[in-house]
């Protein structure tokens, strides 16, 4: 099971360091998103890279629509990978959906994680009476319809918005990986994501977390970062990046790398 | 007026002209008075192998058979043509305005099109461009009538356009795309199977419900040996629990693992809430529980699970403690007694559970609980599956994406995401509105088609739109897609044509962007003029050895690969089109139309000084990487005009970006200041190897760093004269300098001057602030406007290494200015070390770029050993750190009353208010700056955390637990220690390899301040009188000093005092009755940035009187 999983999810282990670092990409990207961050950590960490099962680089046949109905299945994948690699302690950097996956994984196996770094994380995207997640349910439905109607157009609209249109190279990169995903999987996973609500379980996290939030993120309002800080159960810090965009590792790797380093050294 | 066919034909290539002839033929046959775009379309579609047909076939909606859709298209074209009024037959129906406009548009777009660029160069003798068929068709497709016709047949003209632009065999995605249904055939939509291109399997899955992850998980917990009783935690947990109960009740096979199949689930939630909430009797609940116990004993299956429901019932505010503990103790004993009894419940949030836990600390063991985080519920999945009824919204992706206004006006503020450049944005908007119009016309057209001519219909849609709302709603979705398509298309076009959406000007490259070309344009001209008239510069021109000039001219063609467009209108103009020879709208500028070199002519160099201002004001700026131009707004030009008067030698001025200002001012000021010197300066350019000329040139830029300049000149000249230094066996042509110590502005300016002198273009300077990431810029800093703070945004999306490598690749000769070398990250360190060792700079992919003629200048504010030198001096009033914090605020004058004893120091009635709220500002701020090395204020959050860290070094915050605090500090310390240690070692080694290390002296702000205050005082006394006091806010003083530091011309601030400040004093005197008790205050308007700058200095041109 282990090996096929490692193969299926394109697990790569690189770097020369002692400590283990997991870099988990977010929705719409694959492990190549970490390309620009990677060089900074290669000398110091043994880095585990993998693709989420929904990523375009993974054979879409592996995506079981019956299994991946909640994030827990993604968490299973992550934990299985770590087990298969014999990792017993690691730091975890997760972006967007992977941040959520990391949170859940650390609840299930707190001893496995020394530190969680959550980039662009949100426990809940939909607004609630006293919670501002950034989206109204109606809006989400519209997005889904748009996605269903014309994936191409949706990608072209979504990518620059998400990344920040002033970084064409990063937009291209994100569009590419977003396009690589099969549209039905994209839609299914985004439904799963928007359907998830981690707010109730944040307190179960005991691992120290570092929440990295960009100044302007179309998907995650700044208040969410503070919500996370206040509700996550461990010792938490918030790092604000003074850039735009939901994908700082694509659009501002220079800015993110030192922050990550600092976060991981603590 | 329609255009005669023969004239229109002249604009077209043969192929396109044939198409036009066909269109004319169509119009003639139908006896139409004019040839319109529709005729052209009709003609273009007539041939089965035409380009347009081919594009249509590729852009076709997959939903319909091609035959059907083409038939629909022909029909709708035919119907539209039928609607046109016929008149008496003409032999050659002239070309209609709209079609002619399309031809003009295609001409323009063809010029813009980079692929055709070389083509123009080849036959640029032709006064205009012949439009190719492709472009002709493309712009015809822009015509709203045409896109309507296509729309009716289910085509989107933007798709067709994309298909035309793209080569046939490049599918955009691997996946089939769904398209909007053709409006013409919209009633077929539902029955069309191809619309459901990808099926969504999950719809079936969740409908049957057997794939419920949560229930499966709950089942898993139930089979565990220890911790077998699940407590679901999460917002959706009660849903999940209910769901699980449903599944168990309905005995769905695969929800429960085999071991516990047949589990009996009993819910006592109601009983508990009744008991706890309403104070029911203990007996009733006890009875129920006893019953449960009996059941468990007698039950033959795997066991009984007791669902106690939501935990909140037990810990809520209205739940009395004793009732809850009764329930808990009963359940505990029940659980102990019966091994085949399970307990399960849910908790909406972890906090609730925590409360419960504090009430019953041992509950986790007693109940053998397993906390199961639940993050989603099935019921909401089902909710998501239902198809939304909101599809018809007019606003695509409303809310999720920025609102349409954001899309259309991306330059509202620099913070907003920018999607399109101005030009494309404008066009996109036009097209969107055209489509929206077209969209509503369709419905109208359908309705009125019999009664009204179509041109009338076109004119009316807006008025009828409201009445037609219902119909419009139906079309809404299709329109949405259209609009989106258009936006996407323009985004594509924008990306392709302009390489990138342009950045707002404030985040242009930090490099002063004067194109190299102007220098070349200047030098020959200069020679010309000086040989003609005996201007004061003649003596200098003697220095111009002919050979050098020749040399220069020889160089220039190879160097001027960057086309230098000339613009003077305040609109963004695509530069290709400019180069194609379209004359700029400016009156003064004549463009020498050489295909790739259009220098800025400087015709009036020899004119009398007072005449210069009226002519030769050209605004030139290029943005190398982006290829889009921004020209100055009139305000700036005006300002420069003014300046031109003053400087008398206005050979060149105007610009958008402030940095360009600097350079032009700089150049002219030099000449203005010391006429005799101007040409020796030029002579300096001629022979950069000469130490003396280099020294003189540098000293004229930065007057206050004599020793540093001396050292720099010496090093550079000795390196250039080839004191053979080697990288292994290769001769070393690169020069490495390190500027240490304070004076950020001086360092930068010297680097810029080096670039200008050594490589004859200030474009040859690439400046990178390696420390930018350690602190972001203050908003509205005065240094922002001077681009002295490189803000790092231009590095977005790439590493610094790659940025530098990219710049090195672009130019053969470059001064690379690296600020805050001590803050270099690991990658930059590696690359730099290799570069200084081997003469080759590796980028992050390992590709190496030779740095043979480059000059690398690195700066660091402090260095070990030098620190004493800097900070050991007696405290200064205005430190560099303070000046660097200067903001560019508007200033205002307030009139107040003297309160109490005002001390008058040193005979002046001007005093500067002490800095607010800090008794000893220097010690804290200095520490901060030495620590972080950042010039700008720290990012809010960063600073907060840092301050917290720092503060904890000195005292304990009693609000924080001690251990945590110390741990934090320790780890932070050791992190920074290890980090700084390794980088310090690197720095030392790196600096040792430098050709020269130059230590700069601090800029003496206090002396300047003294001088300025004296000046201000003098003016003040002269205008207002000596018995009234002037109080200058220290922030204002800082701002003035910063301006003085930044200004290239010595007396710029003095001039400002004399002109702007004095004028305000005069006004104040006129407006107010000033008595001896009055106190005139000069304060900053915080939050209000400078609207208009005074010429030559970054201070407000007007002071608000209040």
Distances (CA, A) of B33 to A79, B47, B406, B575, B647: 76, 24, 43, 38, 61
- Per-residue pLDDT tens digits for B163-182: 777 655 433 333 333 333 33
Give the Å distances, CA to CA, from B87 to B84, B146, B296, B455.
10, 22, 98, 15
**Is B864 a residue whose pLDDT tops 60?**
no
User: Confidence band (pLDDT; 50, 70, 90) for B483?
Assistant: low
Statement: residue B1094 has pLDDT above 90: no
Q: Does domain A2-265 have CATH number 3.40.50.1820?
A: yes
Strand B369-373: give its sheet, edge to edge.
B264-267, B304-310, B341-347, B229-233, B369-373
CA distances from A191 to A55, A70, A89, A98, B384 (A): 15, 10, 32, 15, 7
Is residue A204 less than 8 Å (CB to CB) from chain B? yes
Look at residue B950 and tell me whether its pLDDT is greater than 70.
no
Instruction: Cite the active site residues of A.
Output: 96, 217, 246
- Do B875 and B922 contact (CB within 8 A), yes or no? yes
Q: Which of residues 103-162 of A touch B (CB under 8 A)?
A: 104, 107-108, 124, 135-136, 138-146, 148-154, 156-158, 160-161
**Chain B interface includes A221 (CB < 8 A):** no
B residues 383-402 near A, CB within 8 Å? Answer: 384, 387-388, 390-391, 393, 396-402
* Nearest chain A Cα distance for residue B878, angstroms: 29
CA distance B196 to chain A (A): 9
**Residue A262 to residue B488, Cβ atoms within 8 A:** no
Decide if pLDDT at B112 tops 80. Answer: no
| Number of Cα atoms under 13 Å in the Cβ half of residue B795 | 26
Q: Using a CB-CB distance cutoff of 8 angstroms, which residues of chain A are in contact with residue B826?
A: 39-40, 43
**What pLDDT score was predicted for residue A12?**
92
| Amino acid A100: pLDDT | 92
Distance from the Cα of A7 to chain B's closest Cα (Å) equals 23
C-beta atoms of A150 and B179 within 8 A:
yes
Query: Please, how many CA atoms are within 13 Å of residue A203, restricted to the half-sphere of its CB?
Result: 14
Interface membership of B375 toward A (CB under 8 Å): yes
Q: What is the model's pLDDT at position B413?
A: 33
Confidence of residue B527 (pLDDT cuts 50, 70, 90): very low
Q: Which two tokens stand for residue B165?
A: 């632009």
Q: How far is it, in rounded angstroms, from Cα B491 to Cα A157?
A: 9
Nearest to B941 by CA among A154, A29, A42, A222: A222
What is the rounded distance in angstroms from the CA atom of residue A237 to the CA atom of residue B136?
Answer: 59
Give the minimum alpha-carbon distance from A47 to chain B in angstroms, rounded to a whole number: 17
For B361-373, how does the pLDDT look when each residue is reduced to its tens digit (9 = 90+)?
888 888 888 888 8
Cross-chain residue pair A204–B350, CB shorter than 8 Å: yes
Residue found by looking up tokens 């439905």 in the block: A141
The structure tokens listed for B173 are 């995605």
Reported ipTM: the value is 0.86
CB distance A40–B827 less than 8 Å? yes
Please provide the size of chain B in residues: 1106
Q: Which residues of B touch A252 (CB under 8 A)?
A: 795-797
> The tokens of A29 are what?
């990207």
Instruction: Say which of B376, B480, B968 has its CB closest to residue A70.
Output: B376
A199 interfacial to chain B (CB closer than 8 Å): yes
Task: Work out the end-to-end distance of chain A between its first and last CA atoms, rounded to an integer number of angstroms.
Answer: 35
Q: What is the pLDDT of residue B331?
A: 85
φ, ψ of residue A2 in degrees (nearest 5): -55, -50
Residue A104, pLDDT above cutoff 70: yes
Between residues 94 and 113 of chain A, which touch chain B (CB distance below 8 Å)? Answer: 100, 104, 107-108
Inform me whether the pLDDT recorded for B1064 exceeds 70: yes
pLDDT at B914: 65
With contact defined as beta carbons under 8 Å apart, do B356 and B230 qualify? Answer: no
Query: What is the distance in angstroms between the Cα of A57 and the nearest Cα belonging to chain B?
Result: 13
Question: Is the Cβ–Cβ distance between B869 and B861 less than 8 Å?
Answer: no
* The residue to which tokens 């220039």 are assigned: B556
Q: Would you say B84 and B38 are in contact if contact means Cβ atoms under 8 Å apart?
A: yes
**Chain A residues within 8 A of B399 when measuring between CB atoms:** 135-136, 138-139, 142
For A153, which of B353, B485, B799 is closest by C-beta distance? B485
Under an 8 A CB cutoff, do B234 and A197 touch? yes
A250 touches chain B (CB under 8 A): yes
What pLDDT sits at residue B365?
Answer: 84
Nearest Cβ partner of B400 from A100, A135, A160? A135
Check pLDDT > 70 for residue B64: no
Mind telling me how many Å the CA of B279 is from chain A's nearest CA?
29
* Confidence category of residue B567, pLDDT binned at 50, 70, 90: very low
DSSP designation for B3:
B
Contacts of B947 (CB under 8 A, 6+ apart): none
Residue with token string 């505010």: B317
- CB pair distance less than 8 Å for B971 and A265: yes
Q: Which residue has the higher pLDDT, A165 or A77?
A: A77
Residue of higher predicted confidence among A87 and B940 = A87
| B455 close to A (CB below 8 A) | no
Of the residues A60, A61, A145, the best mutation for testing chain B's interface (the one with the most B CB atoms within 10 Å of its CB) is: A145
pLDDT score for B932? 38
The region of weakest confidence among A179-183, B40-44, B471-475 is: B471-475
Q: How far, rounded to the nearest angstrom, does the alpha carbon of residue B231 sit from its chain's CA centroid?
A: 48
Nearest residue of chain A to residue B970 (CA atoms): A266
Q: Which are the contacts of B877, defined by CB distance < 8 A and separation ≥ 6?
A: B1005, B1006, B1009
Nearest to B945 among A170, A184, A237 (CB): A237
Residue B109 CA: distances (Å) to CA of B58, B117, B945:
23, 11, 53
**CA–CA min distance A9, chain B (Å):** 20
pLDDT value at residue B204: 33
Work out the average pLDDT over B913-933: 43
Query: How confident is the model over A190-205, as pLDDT tens digits?
Result: 888 888 888 889 988 9
B371, B487, B941 ranked by CB distance to A240: nearest? B941
pLDDT band at B62 (very low <50, low <70, confident <90, very high): low
What does the alpha-carbon distance between residue A159 and residue A161 come to, in Å, rounded to a whole number?
5
Chain A nearest-CA distance from B909, in A, is 44
In this prediction, residue B1067 carries a pLDDT of 83
Compare CB distances from A179 to B173, B825, B975 and report the shortest one's residue: B173
Q: What is the pLDDT of residue B907?
A: 54
**What's the rounded Cα separation, in Å, for the pair B70 and B53?**
9
Residue B879: alpha-carbon gap to chain centroid: 33
**Rounded distance between C-alpha atoms, residue B775 and residue B934, angstroms:** 6
Q: Do A192 and B799 touch (CB under 8 A)?
A: no
Whole-angstrom distance, CA of residue B259 vs CA of residue B274:
34
CA distance B811 to B809: 6
Q: How far apart are CA B514 and CA B659, in angstroms?
A: 9
Q: State the pLDDT at residue A47.
A: 94
* Cross-chain CB nearest to A197 (options B198, B375, B418): B375
Contact assignment for A149 to B975 by CB distance below 8 Å: no
* Cross-chain Cβ contact A146/B396 below 8 Å: yes
Percent of chain B with pLDDT over 70: 51
B233 touches chain A (CB under 8 A): yes
Chain B residue with Cα closest to A182: B175
Give B299's Cβ-side CA count (13 Å radius): 22
Q: Do A197 and B236 touch (CB under 8 A)?
A: yes
| Mean pLDDT value across chain A | 88
A176 band by pLDDT with thresholds 50, 70 and 90: confident
Q: What is the rounded distance in angstroms from the CA atom of residue B665 to the CA atom of residue B661?
A: 6
B836, exposed or middle or buried, with CB in 10 Å at 0-12, 13-18, 19+?
buried
State the angle between helix axes of B37-46 and B51-59 in degrees (0 to 180), rounded to the nearest 10: 90
Give CA–CA dist A5/A24, Å, rounded. Answer: 15
Q: Which residue does chain A place closest to B500, by CA atoms?
A: A168
Q: 331-370 in B: which are within 8 Å (CB) of A?
A: 347-351, 353-354
| Chain segment B282-316, per-residue pLDDT in tens | 777 888 888 888 887 777 777 788 888 888 888 76
* Domain ranges across chain A: 2-265
């Amino acid at each position: 099971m282990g090996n096929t999983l490692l193969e299926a999810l394109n697990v790569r282990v690189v770097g020369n360091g002692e400590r283990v670092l997991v870099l988990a990409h977010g929705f719409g990207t694959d492990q190549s998103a970490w390309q620009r961050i990677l060089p900074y950590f290669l000398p110091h960490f043994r880095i585990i890279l993998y693709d989420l099962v929904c990523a375009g680089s993974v054979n879409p046949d592996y995506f079981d629509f019956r299994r991946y109905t909640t994030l827990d299945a993604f968490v299973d994948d992550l934990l299985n990978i770590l087990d298969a690699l014999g990792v017993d302690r690691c730091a975890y950097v997760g972006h967007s959906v992977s941040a959520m996956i990391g949170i859940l994984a650390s609840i299930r196996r707190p001893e496995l994680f020394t530190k969680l770094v959550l980039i662009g994380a949100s426990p809940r995207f939909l607004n609630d009476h006293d919670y501002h997640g950034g989206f109204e349910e109606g809006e989400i439905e519209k997005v889904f319809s748009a996605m269903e109607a014309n994936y191409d157009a949706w990608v072209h609209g979504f990518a620059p918005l998400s990344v920040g249109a002033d970084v064409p190279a990063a937009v291209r990169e994100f569009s590419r990986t977003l396009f690589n995903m099969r549209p039905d999987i994209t839609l299914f996973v985004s439904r799963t994501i928007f359907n998830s609500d981690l707010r109730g379980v944040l307190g179960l996290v005991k691992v120290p977390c570092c929440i990295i939030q960009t100044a302007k993120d179309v998907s995650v309002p700044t208040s969410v970062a503070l919500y996370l800080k206040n509700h996550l159960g461990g010792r938490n810090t918030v790092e604000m990046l003074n850039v735009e965009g939901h994908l700082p590792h694509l659009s501002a790797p220079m800015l993110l790398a030192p922050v990550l380093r600092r976060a991981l050294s603590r | 007026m329609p255009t005669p066919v023969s004239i229109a034909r002249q604009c077209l290539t043969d192929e396109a002209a044939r198409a036009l002839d066909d269109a004319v033929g169509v119009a003639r046959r139908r006896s139409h008075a004019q040839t319109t775009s529709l005729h052209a379309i009709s003609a273009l579609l007539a041939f089965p192998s035409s380009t347009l047909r081919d594009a249509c076939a590729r852009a076709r909606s997959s939903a319909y058979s091609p035959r059907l859709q083409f038939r629909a298209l022909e029909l709708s074209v035919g119907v539209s043509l039928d609607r046109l009024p016929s008149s008496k037959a003409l032999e050659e129906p002239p070309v209609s305005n709209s079609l002619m406009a399309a031809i003009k548009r295609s001409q323009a777009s063809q010029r813009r099109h980079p692929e055709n660029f070389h083509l123009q160069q080849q036959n640029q003798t032709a006064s205009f461009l012949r439009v190719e068929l492709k472009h002709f068709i493309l712009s015809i497709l822009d015509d709203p009538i045409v896109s309507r016709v296509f729309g009716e047949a289910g085509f989107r003209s933007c798709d067709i356009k994309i298909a035309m632009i793209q080569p046939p065999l490049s599918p955009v995605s691997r996946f089939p795309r769904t398209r909007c249904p053709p409006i013409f055939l919209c009633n077929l939509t539902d029955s069309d199977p191809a619309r459901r291109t990808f099926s969504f399997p999950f719809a079936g899955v969740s409908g049957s419900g057997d794939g419920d992850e949560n229930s499966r998980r709950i089942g898993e917990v139930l089979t565990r040996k220890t911790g077998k009783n699940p407590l679901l935690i999460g917002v959706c947990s009660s849903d999940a629990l209910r769901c699980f109960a449903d599944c168990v009740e309905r005995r769905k096979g695969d929800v429960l693992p085999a071991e516990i199949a047949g589990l009996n689930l009993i819910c006592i939630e109601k009983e508990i809430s009744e008991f706890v909430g309403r104070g029911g009797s203990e007996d009733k609940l006890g009875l129920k529980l006893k019953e449960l116990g009996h059941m468990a004993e007698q039950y033959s299956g795997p066991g009984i699970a007791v669902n106690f429901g939501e935990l909140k019932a037990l810990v809520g505010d209205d739940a009395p403690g004793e009732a809850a503990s009764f329930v808990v103790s009963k359940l505990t004993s029940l659980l102990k007694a019966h091994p085949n009894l399970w307990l399960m419940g849910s908790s909406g949030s972890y906090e609730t559970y925590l409360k419960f836990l504090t009430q019953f600390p041992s509950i986790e063991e007693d109940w053998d609980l397993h906390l199961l985080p639940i993050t989603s519920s099935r019921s909401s999945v089902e909710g998501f599956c239902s198809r939304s009824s909101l599809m018809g919204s007019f606003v695509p992706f409303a809310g999720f994406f920025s609102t349409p206004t954001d899309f259309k006006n991306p330059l509202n503020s620099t913070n907003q995401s920018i999607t399109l450049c101005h030009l494309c944005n404008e066009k996109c908007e036009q097209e969107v509105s055209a489509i929206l119009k077209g969209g509503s016309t369709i419905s109208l057209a359908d309705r009125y088609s019999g009664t009204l001519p179509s041109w009338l219909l076109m004119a009316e849609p807006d008025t009828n739109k409201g009445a037609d709302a219902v119909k419009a709603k139906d079309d809404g979705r299709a329109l949405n897609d259209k609009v989106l398509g258009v936006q996407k298309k323009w985004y594509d076009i924008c990306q392709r044509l302009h390489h990138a959406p342009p950045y707002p000007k404030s985040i242009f490259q930090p490099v002063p962007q004067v194109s190299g070309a102007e220098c070349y344009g200047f030098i020959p001209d200069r020679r010309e003029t000086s040989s003609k008239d005996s201007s004061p510069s003649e003596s200098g021109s003697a220095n111009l050895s002919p050979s050098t000039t020749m040399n220069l001219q020889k160089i220039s063609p190879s160097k001027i690969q960057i086309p230098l467009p000339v613009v003077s209108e305040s609109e963004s103009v695509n530069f290709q089109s400019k180069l194609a020879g379209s004359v700029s709208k400016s009156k003064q500028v004549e463009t020498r139309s050489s295909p790739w070199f259009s220098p800025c002519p400087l015709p009036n160099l020899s004119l009398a000084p007072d005449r210069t201002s009226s002519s030769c004001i050209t605004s030139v700026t290029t943005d190398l990487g982006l290829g889009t131009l921004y020209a100055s707004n009139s305000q700036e030009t005006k300002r420069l005009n003014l300046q031109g008067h003053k400087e008398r030698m206005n050979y060149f001025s105007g610009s958008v970006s402030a940095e360009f200002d600097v350079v032009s001012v700089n150049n002219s000021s030099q000449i203005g200041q010391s006429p005799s010197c101007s040409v020796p300066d030029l002579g300096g350019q001629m022979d950069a190897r000469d130490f003396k000329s280099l020294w003189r040139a540098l000293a004229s830029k930065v007057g206050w760093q004599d020793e540093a300049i001396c050292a720099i000149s010496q090093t550079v000249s000795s390196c250039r004269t080839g004191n053979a230094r080697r990288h292994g066996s290769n001769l070393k042509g690169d020069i490495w300098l390190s500027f240490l110590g304070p004076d950020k502005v001086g360092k930068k300016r010297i680097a810029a001057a080096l670039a200008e002198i050594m490589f004859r273009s200030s474009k040859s300077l690439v400046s990178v602030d390696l420390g930018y990431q350690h602190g972001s810029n203050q908003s509205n800093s005065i240094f922002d406007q001077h681009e002295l703070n490189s803000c790092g945004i231009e590095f977005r999306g790439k590493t610094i290494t790659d940025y530098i490598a990219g710049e090195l690749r672009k130019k053969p000769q470059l001064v690379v200015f690296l600020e805050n070398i001590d803050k270099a990250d690991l990658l930059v360190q590696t690359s730099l070390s290799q570069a200084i060792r081997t003469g080759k700079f590796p980028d992050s992919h390992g590709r190496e770029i030779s740095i043979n003629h480059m000059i690398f200048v690195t700066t660091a504010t402090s260095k070990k050993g030098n620190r004493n030198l800097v900070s050991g001096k007696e405290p200064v009033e205005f430190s560099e750190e303070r000046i660097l914090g200067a903001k560019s605020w508007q200033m205002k004058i307030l009139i107040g009353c003297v309160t109490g004893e005002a001390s008058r120091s040193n005979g002046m009635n001007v005093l500067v208010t002490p800095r607010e709220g800090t008794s000893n500002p220097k010690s804290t701020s200095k520490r901060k700056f030495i620590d972080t090395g950042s010039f700008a204020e720290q990012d809010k959050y960063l600073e907060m955390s840092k301050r917290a860290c720092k503060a904890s070094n000195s005292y304990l915050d009693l609000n924080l637990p001690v251990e945590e605090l110390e741990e934090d500090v320790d780890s932070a310390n050791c992190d920074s220690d290890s980090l700084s240690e390794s980088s310090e070692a690197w720095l030392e080694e790196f600096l040792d390899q430098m050709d020269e290390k130059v230590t700069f002296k601090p800029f003496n702000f206090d002396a300047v301040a003294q001088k300025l205050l004296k000046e201000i005082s003098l003016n003040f006394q002269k205008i207002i009188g000596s018995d009234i006091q002037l109080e200058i806010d220290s922030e204002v003083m800082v701002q003035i000093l910063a301006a003085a530091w930044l200004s290239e011309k010595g007396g710029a601030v003095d001039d400002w005092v004399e002109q702007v400040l004095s004028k305000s004093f005069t006004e104040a005197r006129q407006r107010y009755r000033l008595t001896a008790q009055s106190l005139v205050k000069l304060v900053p308007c915080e939050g209000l940035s400078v609207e208009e700058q005074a010429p030559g200095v970054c201070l407000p041109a007007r002071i608000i009187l209040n």
